[in-house]
Amino acid sequence: MPVPIPYVLSPKSYILSTMYENLKEQLSNYFSGKNHLVIVQGDNPDADSLASSLALEELLLEQNISSTLYCSVDVSHHLRYLDGWDRVTTELPEQFDGWILVDCSFENLLKNVEDKGDLEKLKQTPLLIIDHHDAPSDINYASVMVCDISCGATSQVIFNIAKTLDWKITKHAAEMMTVSILADTLGFTSQFLNNNSSPLRVVAELVDLGAELADLNERRLKQFQISTDIFGYKAELMKRVEFHYDNRIATIDIPHDEIKEYSMDYNPTVILDETRNIEGLAISIGFKIYEKLGNIYKVTARIRCGYGYRFADKLASQFADGGGHPYAAGFKVEGDDLNFAQIKRDTLDKAYQLLQEIDSVS
């Protein structure tokens, strides 16, 4: 018997669940009478959050609502091919009627915003959260929250909202939504699509609305091209990958000076994706070590599983701010004068423990 998918068919769209019908009034009320909104990305902007912001900006414009695109972090170079990226600002406008938080529903991803004093200002106006992450939000002051975990990307939620409110979806909005969905489903290859076809169905509609899928994907992939400098850096990184426990676990440590030097052009922990091609490799962990005056104040870990393994989220959840998906997860430790060697040892111990549990049942 096939497992039923967690949404119902609706004549308006292939994918709309009843959740949206139930939220329709709240959403209409939220947008009613608004002239200018701030669309906010968290402190970890990515292709999904940026493309979703741009799509939303366009959809709102069709509704005669103008918006400011706000992010506390500069748009990374590989996203600057998206028309309109340069409208993203680190400054709040003088006046606005509300704010929409996209691709994020956690307060700890608004820390920079808070440090700048902007969170207080934003909080004086009504908040709408649009997200697709599968973890309970810790924000309790939203006027409306649309967090749909059956969606592969934030733009899929935005698409559903647009359908619910009978908004016009222009070609440009359709393109931005397609970029967002392509990004978060890794060009339709992510595990998310194993038992959920809804991102494909939405993109099919977006193609009908004018999004040129192949061209958009080509432009997306082109942004991953690297300079010869980065090529050399990657070779250096590959030599630095450490293997543990009979080559079942791979790690790499990235010091702060390298993060500063390369992060706009290349994410060094991504080098560990290469280790998925190593036989028997179960999990990889990329550590980034943030320092100020010799004190380590933050360590982040990017966790990815090798083919056939799915316990990245289990490992991440054992740490502060840890979470994610079975195949891709992460955590962040913050504090004063952290002991990185200890954090790494703990991570490796826990990863090995989980691996032994998995090996013993399979």
Taking CA atoms, 272 is separated from 51, 101, 206, 227, 312, in Å, by 26, 31, 34, 19, 14
Q: How far is the CB of 104 from Mn ion (least distance, A)?
A: 8
Task: By CB under 5 A, tell whether 131 contacts Mn ion.
Answer: no
Alpha-carbon distance 345 to 245, whole Å?
Answer: 12
Q: 56 near 67, Cβ under 8 Å?
A: yes
Closest CA to 5 of 200, 205, 199, 195: 195
Give the nearest distance from C-beta 318 to Mn ion in angstroms: 23
In whole angstroms, give the CA distance from residue 359 to residue 328: 19
Shortest distance, position 109 Cβ to Mn ion, whole Å: 12
Decide: 97 and 35 in contact? Cβ < 8 Å.
Answer: yes
Of residues 237 and 312, the one with the C-beta less far from Mn ion: 312
Nearest residue relative to Mn ion (C-beta): 48
Residue found under tokens 């996203």: 79
Q: Which is nearer to Mn ion, 199 or 286 (CB)?
A: 199
In the structure encoding, which two tokens stand for residue 78, read together? Answer: 């590989």
The mark string for 56-75 relative to Mn ion (x by CB under 5 A, - otherwise) is --------------------
Candidates 99-107, 139-147, 326-334, 341-349; binding stretch for Mn ion (CB under 5 A): 99-107
Return the range that interacts with Mn ion (CB under 5 A); candidates 97-105, 216-224, 287-295, 309-317.
97-105
Residue 172 or 325 having the CB closest to Mn ion? 325
Task: Note the maximum CA span of the chain.
Answer: 62
Tokens (6 digits) for 124: 């004086």
Integer CA distances (angstroms), 47 to 9, 37, 64, 220, 279, in order: 29, 21, 26, 9, 31
Nearer to Mn ion, 329 or 355 (CB): 329
Please report how close the Cβ of residue 174 comes to Mn ion at its closest, in angstroms: 18
Q: Which residues within the stretch 33-52 sit at the binding site for Mn ion (CB under 5 A)?
A: 48
CA distance 315 to 303: 8
Cβ distance to Mn ion smaller for residue 182 or 250: 182
Q: Which residue lies nearer to Mn ion by CB, 48 or 57?
A: 48
Contact residues for 261 (Cβ-Cβ < 8 A; gap 6+): none
Q: Where are the alpha helices (DSSP H) in 32-77?
A: 47-62
User: Shortest distance, CB of residue 327 to Mn ion, whole angstroms?
Assistant: 15
Q: Of the two residues 71 and 281, which places its CB atom closer to Mn ion in the complex?
A: 71
Residues contacting Mn ion: total by CB under 5 A: 3
Query: In angstroms, rounded to a whole number, what is the distance separating the alpha carbons of residues 178 and 203?
Result: 6
Residue from the set 58, 103, 148, 313 that interacts with Mn ion by CB under 5 A = 103
Contacts of Mn ion in 167-186 (CB under 5 A): 184
Window 178 to 237, contacts with Mn ion (CB under 5 A): 184
Residues that bind Mn ion (CB under 5 A): 48, 103, 184
